[in-house]
């Protein structure tokens, strides 16, 4: 069994986004560790990607939930994303759909959608508990 509290982030592979999301999740959920599942444009992968890509993300999230007992999963998108170069509004819409996709997995977790701004601030877009 893993020691310490884990949470999970499905985040963009862009290195600029990693630290802000990790810091925010640790602070917000009093977590010791953040399991990272990275994809270029994870909101695109989760809403318009191939079914095997979505399944791969789900498999990695399930490892975090089952092995590390993560009880929070966040999917994050950000300003200036090379993996999904669309408007902020399109990202926010996709993030909301991501929460629907992830809650359909029926895992015992809270699911959040996060937006990382051009100032690298993290904002909650959607929360499965609201």
72-78 and 6-12 beta bridge pairing: parallel
- CATH number of the domain enclosing 12: 3.40.1050.10
**63-86 pLDDT, tens per residue?**
999 999 999 999 999 999 999 999
**15-59 pLDDT, tens per residue?**
999 999 999 999 999 999 999 999 999 999 999 999 999 999 999
DSSP at 128: T
pLDDT the model gives residue 2: 59
pLDDT the model gives residue 130: 85
Q: Is residue 1 part of a domain?
A: no
Q: Is residue 45 part of a domain?
A: yes
Q: Give the Cα separation of 47 and 78 in Å (integer).
A: 16
pLDDT at 1 exceeding the cut of 90: no
Q: What is the pTM of this model?
A: 0.95
- Confidence tier at 3 by pLDDT (50, 70, 90): confident
pLDDT the model gives residue 99: 97
110-116 and 122-127 beta bridge pairing: antiparallel
Domain count, the chain: 1
Q: Is residue 83 part of a domain?
A: yes
Q: Is residue 105 part of a domain?
A: yes
Alpha-carbon torsion angle 76, 102, 9, 14, nearest 10: -40
Q: Which residues contact 15 (CB under 8 A, 6 or more apart)?
A: none
Q: Which domain holds residue 73?
A: 6-127
Q: Is residue 23 part of a domain?
A: yes
- Per-residue pLDDT averaged across 102-115, rounded? 97
DSSP H helical ranges for the chain: 15-29, 42-48, 51-68, 88-103
Q: Give the Cα separation of 15 and 19 in Å (integer).
A: 8
Task: Please answer whether residues 84 and 77 qualify as being in contact, where contact means their C-beta atoms are separated by less than 8 angstroms.
Answer: yes
Q: Is residue 37 part of a domain?
A: yes
pLDDT at 87 exceeding the cut of 70: yes
Q: Is residue 31 part of a domain?
A: yes
Q: Is residue 121 part of a domain?
A: yes
Token pair recorded at residue 31:
């977590």
């Amino acid at each position: 069994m893993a020691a310490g509290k884990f949470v999970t982030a499905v985040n963009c592979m862009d290195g600029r986004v990693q630290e802000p999301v990790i810091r925010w999740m640790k602070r917000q959920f009093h977590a010791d560790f953040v399991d990272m599942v990275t994809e270029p444009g994870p909101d695109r992968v989760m809403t318009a990607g191939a079914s095997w890509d979505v399944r791969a993300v789900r498999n990695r999230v399930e490892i975090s939930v089952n092995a590390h007992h993560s009880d929070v999963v966040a999917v994050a998108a950000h300003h200036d994303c090379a993996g999904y170069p669309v408007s902020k509004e399109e990202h926010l819409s996709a993030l909301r759909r991501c929460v629907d996709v992830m809650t359909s997995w029926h895992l015992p977790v809270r699911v959040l959608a996060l937006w990382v701004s051009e100032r690298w601030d993290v904002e909650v877009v959607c929360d499965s508990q609201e």
